[in-house]
Amino acid sequence: MITLLQTIDLKRHFGGLWASNGVDLSVESGEIHALIGPNGAGKTTLIHLISGTLQPDAGQLVFDGHDISRQNMHQRVALGITRSYQITQIFPQLSLLENVRLAVQARQHEWGSSFRFWRPASAEFSMIEEAEEWLGRVGLAEAAGQLACNVSHGERRALELAMALATKPRLLLLDEPMAGMGPEESEHMAALISSLRGERTVLLVEHDLDIVFRLADRISVLVAGRVLLTDIPTIVRAHPEVRQAYLGDEVA
């Protein structure tokens, strides 16, 4: 296995609170890596730090051999790190197709610059076809023409995943992709994420432990801003400290 992402002693504080207090994490290429931990353990902060939404106070981020600690968000996207958000971030007044097409258009190294002012984007058929393919991938092909504000919450979450995939990330950061979903929608999303195994490297923050244990190749347990341990699901599940620190009542 090749290490795709490594964080070394990563730190970030908000006032007196060290949300990340020396995080050492390594994500292997091609795996689905889940991040679990109690509320306030620093999971979302870590996603912010890796994606470039926030800058670390100390420590290092190494992606595919490059030090990316000081790069801003769109430089990291260009290198292949794309994230989704806990609260859905889409373009509500655009069609699903246009939402994804904008994500496709964002790949400037392939399509060329977005600073093109004359030719209608609707005449760039190959871009639109690709957007349709991504929508099909998440099961939204039928709804392509609808405005994003008019579809269900679950469909919007799937749309956000399609948009993230359309940037062709090498590392996909998913922050609670099942948040607010019913059991059926969650299963659909889990199947989608599972279908990415081997194709994309995924770092997943998720509260639903059943799904996490089923989906993840490896799990890291985050407690109080540090990684308690990283291992395969069966070992994490059995680990006494994890049971005490996090699973607590849920397993007992």
Partner 1 sequence: MKRSRRIVLEACLLLAAIVLPLILQALGEDFYISFATRLLIFALAATSLNFIVGYGGMVAFGHAAFFGLGAYVVAFLMVAGVTSAWIAWPVALGVTALAAIVIGAISLRTRGVYFIMITLAFAQMIYYSIISLQVAGGDDGLPLIQRSTLSPFDLADDTTLYWTTLSLLAACLHALQHISHSRFGRALAGLRQNEVRMEALGYPVFRLKLVCFVVGSTIGGLAGALLANQNGLASPSLLYWTQSGMLLVMVILGGVGYRYGGVVGAITLLGLEEVLGRFTEYSHFFIGLVLLAIALFSPGGLASLRGQRQ
- State yes or no: residue 73 binds partner 1 (CB under 8 A): yes
- State yes or no: residue 89 binds partner 1 (CB under 8 A): yes
d(CA 67, CA 54): 16
Q: Which stretch binds partner 1 (CB under 8 A): 60-68, 97-105, 196-204, 205-213?
A: 97-105
Placement of tokens 């099909």 in the chain: 136
Q: Which of 9, 67, 110, 114 binds partner 1 (CB under 8 A)?
A: 114
- State yes or no: residue 94 binds partner 1 (CB under 8 A): yes
- State yes or no: residue 70 binds partner 1 (CB under 8 A): no
- State yes or no: residue 247 binds partner 1 (CB under 8 A): no
Specify which residues 31 forms β-bridges with.
none
- State yes or no: residue 201 binds partner 1 (CB under 8 A): no
> Which residues 6+ apart lie within 8 Å of 68 measured at CB?
52, 61, 62, 75, 76, 79, 81
Residue type at position 38: P
CA atoms within 13 A on the CB side of 156: 20
Residue 26 φ/ψ region, left for φ over 0, alpha for ψ in the -120 to 50 degree band, beta for the rest: beta
- State yes or no: residue 150 binds partner 1 (CB under 8 A): no
- In the complex, the smallest distance separating the C-beta of residue 205 from partner 1, rounded to whole angstroms, is 15
- State yes or no: residue 106 binds partner 1 (CB under 8 A): yes
Q: Vertex 105, ends 190 and 95: CA angle to 5°?
A: 65
Q: Which of 45, 69, 71, 82 binds partner 1 (CB under 8 A)?
A: 82
> Which residues 6+ apart lie within 8 Å of 36 measured at CB?
43, 205, 206, 207, 209, 212, 219, 220, 221, 222, 246
CB nearer partner 1, residue 16 or residue 117: 117
Q: Which of 44, 45, 51, 69 binds partner 1 (CB under 8 A)?
A: 51
Specify whether the CB–CB gap between 236 and 242 falls below 8 A. yes
Q: Which stretch binds partner 1 (CB under 8 A): 28-36, 69-77, 191-199, 236-244?
A: 69-77
Contacting positions for partner 1 (CB under 8 A)? 51, 53, 73-74, 77-78, 82-83, 85, 89-94, 98, 101-103, 105-108, 113-122, 124, 163, 167
